[in-house]
Amino acid sequence: MSNKLIIKNLECFREERTIFQRLSCEIESNQTMLVLGKNGSGKTSFLRLVAGYLKNYNGKVLFNDNDLQQNNEPLTDFRFIGQKNSLKDNLTVRQNIEMWQLIYHTKKDINKIVDLLDIRMLLNKDINTLSDGQKKRVSLSRLLISKAKVWLLDEPLVYLDLNKVKLLEDIILQHNDTGGITLYTSNTNIDLKYDHLINMDDYAIL
């Protein structure tokens, strides 16, 4: 199964202001793309645009030759993990994962997910007793709950220590091996393995 994401001459607006322009790139199955850039250069906007939240843009985003702007179907092939953790503070980790299972409409066994992300010992703890890094890992479990072809990760490495970065890298490689595509943004010096690099500073209008 091979997938292909093509972005042609993209120009993104927010409230009449142009964020970036002339952005083109191509990414195929089994590849990772790193999106770099200064603060405010439009990294998050770029990911949200590809995920389908932003509709106000010129240019084309083609996924397997489907134009996403023409397409009014929901983008179930895409999974966006933003900087917000999507966690309910008053619930335990297990309850939070159950809530996501309801949203994604799956009943997959969570044992495997829990081991992959090394959060088994946290399962029965309340979210507000966790550290930021632990919350981030719980939040990343949304990637594994149900399958999506394209992962869009906004700053996934923030708060993670080196071991956990390695853990995430393995998970991403595994996802890519099954035909997946991963795009992620990063501000830190530690980077995951990547095949393509986009520097938003080249396209941003500041």
Partner 1 sequence: MPFYNLIIRDLKLAFFSSTNFLFAASFLILILILVPFVFGTNVGSFSILFTGFIWISIALSILLTLDRVFNSDYEDGNLDTIILTQQSLELIVCSKFISHWIANCIPIIIVIPIAGLLFEVGIQDILNIILNVLLGSPGMVFIGSAISALTLGSKRAGIYKTIIIVPLYIPFIIFGSNQESGLVLLGLSMTAFVFSLFTSIYSLRLYAE
Q: Is 116 in the site for partner 1 (CB under 8 A)?
A: no
Q: Is 205 in the site for partner 1 (CB under 8 A)?
A: no
Question: How many chain residues touch partner 1 (CB under 8 A)?
Answer: 33
Q: What letter does residue 8 receive in the DSSP assignment?
A: E
Amino acid at 63: F
Q: How many CB atoms lie within 10 A of CB 27?
A: 20
Binding residue (CB under 8 A) for partner 1 from 7, 75, 114, 200: 75
| Strands of the 66-67 sheet, one edge to the other | 17-28, 4-14, 57-63, 66-67
Q: Is 56 in the site for partner 1 (CB under 8 A)?
A: yes
Q: Name the minimum Å distance from CB 62 to partner 1.
A: 19
- For 46, the token pair is 């770029």
Binding residue (CB under 8 A) for partner 1 from 76, 111, 128, 178: 76
CA atoms within 13 A on the CB side of 178: 11
Binding residue (CB under 8 A) for partner 1 from 105, 162, 189, 206: 105
Q: Is 149 in the site for partner 1 (CB under 8 A)?
A: no
- Residue whose entry in the numeric block shows the structure tokens 């010992």: 121
Q: Is 175 in the site for partner 1 (CB under 8 A)?
A: no
Q: Is 90 in the site for partner 1 (CB under 8 A)?
A: yes
Residue 156: helix, strand or coil by DSSP?
coil
Q: Is 80 in the site for partner 1 (CB under 8 A)?
A: yes
- The span of 60-68, 69-77, 166-174, 192-200 binding partner 1 (CB under 8 A) equals 69-77
- The span of 29-37, 88-96, 163-171, 183-191 binding partner 1 (CB under 8 A) equals 88-96
| Strands of the 78-81 sheet, one edge to the other | 78-81, 150-153, 181-185, 31-36, 196-199
**Residues in CB range of 174: below 8 A, 6 or more apart:** none
* Residue numbers at the binding site for partner 1 (CB under 8 A): 14, 48, 51-56, 74-76, 78-80, 82-91, 95, 98-100, 102-105, 142
